[in-house]
């Protein structure tokens, strides 16, 4: 039966929202009236979800990695216990206290009850359950080991979420420090320097070049602050709109790959993501060509994604995985050697998983090194700017005192 989201008023006149299953919206309204509730709105979850997506193009219409890992772990446990898929989905929907996830699980359950496969039912929510997830579930259904595959998928989702959290937390402090440094410099130029300028103007003395530069910078920032803010906003909006066009995005990503430090970071991140995704797909029995194509879609950099797509074509023509990936130059030699070893030994999924873990460790080490250098550089920059401002303010004062003596 399909799931419906409802909004109703209870006997006390309080608004209540929830999800119920029924054959039609009319039946849901009757269920609410039987509870002596006044139905206000009843809508099928699939239609409501589609309206949310098309009504707000900036909405992800998905769920967090932590919620996805929890759902997957619960499904794996219940399926391994011998329950049918529709029973598992119903049980998971009852366990969650989030209406969005509850309605999603009931909508997927209704598709399964109608006779669709589990993977096919998940296609109703492509943003919540990406290609990787659906391809892995489909392979588990075909092989008859859905519970085991879901358990592996939960491990993969949790590990990927942990890596993302580590990267985000590692980068958070330096960016906060940089933002506060810029904010402090702007505050000094727009608040402190103008007050000192009036003193210097009344003295009538010839100011040092450093002081004149400081006053000119302060005047420029004050006089053109709205123009500067508008320019920054215009650049941001133009860049965001340009990034929606694939040719521009491809050129921008190519530029990033040529920057020394940035290139190492994004290559390490995409390589780890590609290896771990391909590992879970191959271990779940997904054909290699399909697995490579799906894993390529997980990468964020377009030139790397295009190279993986070209490699998938070579694999379909009979080439091995390591020989197809080696010419593009985006993957480190160690990773290529580990893939070749896995292909020769028949343990490709294990070697891919080991390669992914190596890439994650190298990425964490690179981030730690960059942050270790970045933090003192920001402090030196901030201290240097403050020193220049203090000198620009103190030099006229010292000169004025010497004249007075």
Give residue-wise pLDDT tens across range 75-108.
988 988 888 888 898 888 888 888 788 888 888 8
Extract the tokens encoding 72.
């997957």
Residue 61 has pLDDT above 50, yes or no: no
What three-state secondary structure class fits 346? Answer: coil
Q: What strands, in cross-sheet order, belong to the sheet with 15-21?
A: 15-21, 3-9, 38-44
Residues 6+ apart with CB under 8 A from 34: none
Q: Report the distance separating Cα 209 and Cα 7, nearest Å.
A: 69
**16, 129, 180, 268 from 372: Cα distances, Å:** 52, 37, 18, 18
- Measured CA to CA, the distance from residue 223 to residue 165 in angstroms comes to 42
**Helix count and strand count (H, E) for the chain:** 18, 3
Predicted pLDDT of residue 1: 59
pLDDT of 154:
83
Average pLDDT, the chain: 81
Contacts by 255-259, CB closer than 8 A, 24 or more apart: 256/301, 257/301, 257/303, 257/304, 257/330
Confidence band (pLDDT; 50, 70, 90) for 250? Answer: very high
Backbone phi, psi, residue 248, to 5°: -65, -45
Q: How far is 403 from 89, CA to CA, in rounded Å? A: 86
* Residue 305, number of CB atoms within 10 A of its CB: 20
User: Which residues are CB-contacts of 138 (< 8 A; sequence separation ≥ 6)?
Assistant: 117, 119, 286
Q: What is the pLDDT of residue 55?
A: 36
Please tell me whether the overall predicted TM-score, pTM, comes out greater than 0.85 for this model. no
Considering only 53-57, 245-249, 270-274, 354-358, which range has the smallest mean pLDDT? 53-57
CB 2 within 8 A of CB 44: yes
**The pLDDT of residue 366:** 82
Q: How many percent of the chain have pLDDT more than 90?
A: 14
Q: pLDDT category, 34, cuts 50, 70, 90?
A: confident
Looking at the predicted structure, is the pLDDT value of residue 246 above 80? yes
For residues 321 and 294, the answer to whether their CB atoms sit within 8 Å is: no
CA distance 113 to 90: 11
Task: Tell me the pairing of strands 15-21 and 3-9.
Answer: antiparallel
Domains of the chain with CATH codes: 1-129 (1.20.81.30), 145-405 (1.20.81.30)
Q: Which of 117-126, 308-317, 347-356 has the highest mean pLDDT?
A: 308-317
67 Cβ partners below 8 Å, 6+ apart? 98, 101
pLDDT at 225: 85
Q: Do the Cβ atoms of 328 and 310 come closer than 8 Å?
A: yes
Higher pLDDT residue, 71 or 139? Answer: 71
In the predicted structure, residue 217 carries a pLDDT above the cut 80? yes
Place 308 in a pLDDT band, splitting at 50, 70 and 90.
very high
Instruction: Inform me whether the pLDDT recorded for 137 exceeds 50.
Output: yes
């Amino acid at each position: 039966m399909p799931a419906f989201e409802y909004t109703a008023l209870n006997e006390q006149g309080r608004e209540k929202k929830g999800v119920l299953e029924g054959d039609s919206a009319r039946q849901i309204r009757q269920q609410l009236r039987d509870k002596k509730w006044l139905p206000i709105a009843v809508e099928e979850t699939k239609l409501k979800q589609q309206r949310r997506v098309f009504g707000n193009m900036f909405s992800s219409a998905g769920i967090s990695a932590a919620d996805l890992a929890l759902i997957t772990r619960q499904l794996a446990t219940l399926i391994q216990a011998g329950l049918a898929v529709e029973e598992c989905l119903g049980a998971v929907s009852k366990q969650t206290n989030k209406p969005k996830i509850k309605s999603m699980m009931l909508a997927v359950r209704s598709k399964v009850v109608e006779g669709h496969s589990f993977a096919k039912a998940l296609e109703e929510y492509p943003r919540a359950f990406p290609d990787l997830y659906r391809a892995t579930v489909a392979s588990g259904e075909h092989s008859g080991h859905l519970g085991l595959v879901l358990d592996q998928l939960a491990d993969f989702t949790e590990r990927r979420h942990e890596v993302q959290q580590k990267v985000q937390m590692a980068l958070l402090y330096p960016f906060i420090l940089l933002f506060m440094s810029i904010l402090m410099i702007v505050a000094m130029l727009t608040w402190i320097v103008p007050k000192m300028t009036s003193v210097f103007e009344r003295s009538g003395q010839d100011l040092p070049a450093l002081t004149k530069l400081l006053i000119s910078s302060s005047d420029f920032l004050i006089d053109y602050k709205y123009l500067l803010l508008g320019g920054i906003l215009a650049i941001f909006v133009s860049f965001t709109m340009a990034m929606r066009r694939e040719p521009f995005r491809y050129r921008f990503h190519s530029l990033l790959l040529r920057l020394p430090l940035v290139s190492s970071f994004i290559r390490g991140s995409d390589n780890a993501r590609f290896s771990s995704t391909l590992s879970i797909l191959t271990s779940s029995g997904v054909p290699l060509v399909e697995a490579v194509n799906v894993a390529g879609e997980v990468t964020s950099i377009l030139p790397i994604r295009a190279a993986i797509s070209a490699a998938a074509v070579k694999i379909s023509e009979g080439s091995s995985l390591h020989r197809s990936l080696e010419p593009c130059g985006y993957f480190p030699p160690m990773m290529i050697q580990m893939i070749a070893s896995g292909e020769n030994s028949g343990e490709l999924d294990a070697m891919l998983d080991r390669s992914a873990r190596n890439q994650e460790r190298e990425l964490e080490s690179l981030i730690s090194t960059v942050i270790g250098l970045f933090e003192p550089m920001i402090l030196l920059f901030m201290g240097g700017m403050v020193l220049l401002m203090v000198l620009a303010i103190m030099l006229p004062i010292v000169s004025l005192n010497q004249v007075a003596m």
